[in-house]
């Protein structure tokens, strides 16, 4: 009888221990399931993007938009070019051996991305719903407005949208731009050319009487010909958000570009000298009437940066 009681007691203790162990393991598993998943890293995103392993990054830019994107003495200069250099360096593509700027016109920006001619486009590229169906955007990295520039001989005659509708005035803009659509919406007949620079050249040669485009682009031409032109502020509508164009099939690259734009934005918010502010002060800053700050990029992923994984000393 004693032996039976002993065995029964041992079985009871064993059962109790087994139940306790099961509960402990379940609780531990529950704790593990509540842990935050580990964040993806910049390196992991790089491996997912189409540029991984490329020896060179190709960025589409304008070459005839002073202050924004211009080819001067064989060198690419301007605000967009500086932003492109910052993003490229952040992705590990720094220096002329690793970075190639490719000239793209306004109407060639989307085909260049779709055809793989370039990896990114930084060229006064306004973010619109129609374009987002064709390419992806990171940003915005700048907020601008649509304006009109006229020769000084007409500065007192062309002041309103109604003046632009006057058929005696020839209004010029670039094809494939948001400005072209906006002018059409306001019933302004336009002469459409490849680039804004063609409009400016046409005005100087007497072919056109006014040009409409983003404030940033017009400011560049005003800086080039300060005595020949004047910018007329007209209430065309909403602000333009400029973004960096990315192939629509590469969400990893879009996330990386957005992440590094946000990194510059946060530096500026913290009072540090941000790459964006440095680029703006060197290019657009002296020619725009109001002081600008980098806008906050949208849809920015939470990633672990290169530096965050470096060993601490």
Could you give the domains of the chain? 42-142+242-289 (3.40.190.10), 146-232 (3.40.190.10)
**Cα(306)–Cα(52) distance, integer angstroms:** 15
Residue 150 in contact with residue 229, Cβ under 8 Å? Answer: yes
Chain position carrying tokens 């590469």? 250
**Cα(295)–Cα(252) distance, integer angstroms:** 22
**Cα(126)–Cα(140) distance, integer angstroms:** 9
Residue 131 in contact with residue 177, Cβ under 8 Å? Answer: no
DSSP 23: H
In order, the DSSP letters of 268-289 are: HHTTS--HHHHHHHHTTGGGSS
Parts of the chain with a pLDDT under 50: 1-32, 310-313
Residue 63: Cβ-neighbour burial (10 angstroms; 0-12, 13-18, 19+)? buried
pLDDT tens digits, one per residue of 179-208: 888 899 999 999 999 889 999 999 999 999
pLDDT tens digits, one per residue of 223-235: 999 999 999 988 7
**Cα(238)–Cα(177) distance, integer angstroms:** 15
* Predicted local confidence at residue 24, as pLDDT: 47
Chain position carrying tokens 């190709």? 58
Residue 280 in contact with residue 107, Cβ under 8 Å? Answer: no
Chain position carrying tokens 């000084």? 152
Burial profile 21-36: b = 16 or more Cβ within 10 angstroms, e = fewer = eeeeeeeeeeeeeeee
CA distances (Å), origin 279, targets 82, 144, 151, 232, 293: 6, 16, 29, 26, 11
* Predicted local confidence at residue 152, as pLDDT: 96
Phi-psi region of 237 (alpha: psi -120 to 50; beta: other; left: phi over 0): left
* Predicted local confidence at residue 70, as pLDDT: 95
Nearest to 173 by CA among 210, 206, 205, 204: 210
**Cα(126)–Cα(240) distance, integer angstroms:** 6
* Predicted local confidence at residue 39, as pLDDT: 84
Q: Is 292 helix (H, G, I), strand (E, B) or coil?
A: coil
* Predicted local confidence at residue 18, as pLDDT: 45
* Predicted local confidence at residue 289, as pLDDT: 77
DSSP 175: T
Residue ranges of alpha helices (H) inside the chain are 2-33, 42-48, 79-90, 109-114, 129-132, 161-165, 178-185, 196-204, 215-224, 251-269, 275-282
Segment 164-167 long-range contacts (CB within 8 Å, at least 24 positions apart): 164/188, 164/210, 164/212, 164/234, 165/189
């Amino acid at each position: 009888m004693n032996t039976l009681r002993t065995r029964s007691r041992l079985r009871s203790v064993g059962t109790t221990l087994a139940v306790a162990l099961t509960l402990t393991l379940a609780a531990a598993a529950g704790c593990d399931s509540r842990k935050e998943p580990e964040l993806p890293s910049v390196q992991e995103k790089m491996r997912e993007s189409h540029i991984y392993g490329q020896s060179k990054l190709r960025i589409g830019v304008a070459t005839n938009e002073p202050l924004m994107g211009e080819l001067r003495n064989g060198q690419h200069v301007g605000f967009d070019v500086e932003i492109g250099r910052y993003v490229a360096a952040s992705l590990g593509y720094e220096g002329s051996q690793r970075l190639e700027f490719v000239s793209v016109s306004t109407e060639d920006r989307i085909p260049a991305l779709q055809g793989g001619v370039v990896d990114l486009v930084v060229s006064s590229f306004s973010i619109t719903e129609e374009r987002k169906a064709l390419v992806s955007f990171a940003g915005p990295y700048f907020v601008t407005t649509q304006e009109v520039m006229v020769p000084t001989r007409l500065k007192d005659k062309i002041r309103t949208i109604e003046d632009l509708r006057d058929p005696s005035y020839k209004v010029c803009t670039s094809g494939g731009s948001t400005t072209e659509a906006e002018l059409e919406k306001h019933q302004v007949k336009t002469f459409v050319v490849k680039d804004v620079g063609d409009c400016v050249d046409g005005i100087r040669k007497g072919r056109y009487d006014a040009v409409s485009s983003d404030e940033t682009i017009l400011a560049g031409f005003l800086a080039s010909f300060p005595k020949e032109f004047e910018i007329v502020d007209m209430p065309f509508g909403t602000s333009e958000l400029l973004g960096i164009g990315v192939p629509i099939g590469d969400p990893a690259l879009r996330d990386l570009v957005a992440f590094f734009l946000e990194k510059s934005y946060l530096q500026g918010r913290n009072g540090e000298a941000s790459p964006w502010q440095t680029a703006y002060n060197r290019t657009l800053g002296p020619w725009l009437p109001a002081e600008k700050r980098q806008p906050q990029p949208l849809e920015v992923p939470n990633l672990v940066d290169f530096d965050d994984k470096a060993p601490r000393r």
